[in-house]
Structure 1
Amino acid sequence: MSIAFLLTTLAVVVIPGSGVLYTLAAGLSHGRRAGVLAALACTLGVVPHLVATITGLAALLRTSPVAYEAVKYLGVGYLLYLAWATLRGEDALTVPGEAAPRPASRVITSAVLVNLLNPKLTVFFVAFLPQFVPAGDGGSPGALLRLGAVFMAVTFVVFAAYGIGAAAVRDRVRARPGTMTGIRRVCAACFVALGARLAVA
């Protein structure tokens, strides 16, 4: 495992995207447990992309405009749904008073979909992982699995840190309803921006 791979992985994971944004929202809205669950679920959302890379499905997705566009616009649609739900206070960014915690199944499902419906992640795996496979291993599934496992581990640790950090300031945000409204609008705008960027990719 090269230092270059670890540093590149860390740089890719730390840069905020839809997964980071969703994890922040979950931690801020529903506390540490939801933030960690969202981080775990976003990490699990990487698995289908890794499997696609190993089995060659990613190459098909990259070379088939119809398949790529279909998955891309599903991802765009889901990001726009998250923006709409965030503004309405029906999804991640709702800070309840004494309401019951958000069901774990809903947190996990939403977070998995955030990463699952992102064809750019699959294409990224196709271009990214093979560069760091040792020359002697070629394109062996074992080598790709090891690199993918490290990528997922780094993803979980970084995302969990984001979620726990957001949960740490949750009480302060809850004491200022106006602040929460502003954060909700900013997050909704970010979801829209991410969707627009994906749409024109």
Structure 2
Amino acid sequence: MLSAQFLVTALVVVIAPGTGVIYTLAMGLGQGRRAALWAALGCTFGIVPSLAAATLGLAAVLHTSALLFTVMKFAGVAYLLYLAWQALRSGGTLAVAADGRAQPGLAIARRAALINILNPKLSVFFLALLPPFLSGNPATATVEMTLLGAVFMALTFGVFVIYGLFAARARDLLLGSARAMRWLNRGFAAIFVALAGRLAEEPA
């Protein structure tokens, strides 16, 4: 069940840059260490609904229902485009600026959680990732899925914290350059738009 193979697989998946990583980096660069930690926490807890769906078998229902998958998918697309706009807009919640106001931690975490909650691929991903590492005993399958999911969440939080703290440290080097901050905001916006496009292309 909990093996070195699972830990390596999960770590590779978590380290690979995705929407949550980009959001955490943006918050670290935009508002510093505290915001990055809240972003990492929100991204981690945003995994819970998808993990629960995979554990209870609801992910299979989502995967076989084209309408439900499409609704969830385009809700996620709209949210990513909203984040892109927030990165571009002066004073936006994701904009990197020297005089940016500190945002409430719960608001940062809530936006982070929605990134994962509105991604229908995540529950299907867990349904594919976790079963191969189960013992094969039906009586303990739910407990094992929950344990593996908890380990995956712990790895997610740890890796995202490292990403966020790195971004917060780099923030001090960038605040003195208005040009660098403009290009960072454009870059984050472009990445969110690209991620939205990729999600929109996913087949139901």
Separation in 2 of the partners of 1:100 and 1:74? 28
Moved over 3 A (4+): 136-139
- The alignment status of 1:94 with 2:96, answered yes or no, reads yes
- The answer to whether the 8 A contact 2:38-2:106 is kept is no
The answer to whether the 8 A contact 2:53-2:123 is kept is yes
The separation in 1 between residues aligned to 2:102 and 2:198, in whole angstroms, is 32
Deviates more, 1:17-26 or 1:168-177: 168-177
Contact 1:130–1:139, Cα closer than 8 Å, also in 2: no
User: Which residue is equivalent to 1:30?
Assistant: 31
Q: Percent identity?
A: 47
**Distance 1:100-1:184 versus aligned 2 partners, 3 A rule:** closer
SS of equivalent to 1:169: helix
1: distance between equivalents of 2:42 and 2:139?
30
Q: Distance in 2 between matches of 1:139 and 1:158?
A: 29
Alignment of 1:53 with 2:54, yes or no, is yes
Shift of 1:139: 6.5
2:94 partner amino acid:
A
Where do 5+ consecutive residues of structure 2 fail to align?
none
Equivalent residues in 2 for 1:88-127, closer than 5 Å: 88-89=89-90, 90-97=92-99, 100-127=101-128
The aligned amino acid for 2:104 is P
Structure 1-normalised TM-score? 0.96
Structure 2 CA distance for aligned equivalents of residues 173 and 139 of structure 1: 51
Counterpart-to-counterpart distance in 2, 1:136 and 1:57: 20
SS at match of 2:124: helix
Letter in 2 for 1:93: A
The Cα offsets for residues 15-38 of structure 1, whole Å up to 9 and x where unpaired, read as 111000000001111110110110
| Correspondences of 1:137-148 after superposition (within 5 Å) | 140-148=141-149
Counterpart-to-counterpart distance in 2, 1:138 and 1:153: 25
1:62 Cα deviation from its structure 2 partner: 0.6
The DSSP-based 3-state class of the residue aligned with 1:25 is helix
Give the SS at the match of 2:6: helix
Q: Cα 1:100–1:87, aligned 2, differ >3 Å: closer, same or farther?
A: closer
SS of 1:40's partner is helix
Matched, 1:17 2:12: no
- Is 1:164 aligned with 2:165? yes
Tell me what 1:8 maps to. 9
Displacement after TM superposition at 1:159 (Å): 0.5
Q: Kindly tell me the number of residue pairs found equivalent between the two proteins.
A: 200
Give the CA deviation at 1:96: 3.8
Q: Give the Cα separation in 2 of the matches to 1:139 and 1:59.
A: 20
Identify the range of structure 1 (157-166 vs 134-143) with the bigger mean alpha-carbon deviation.
134-143
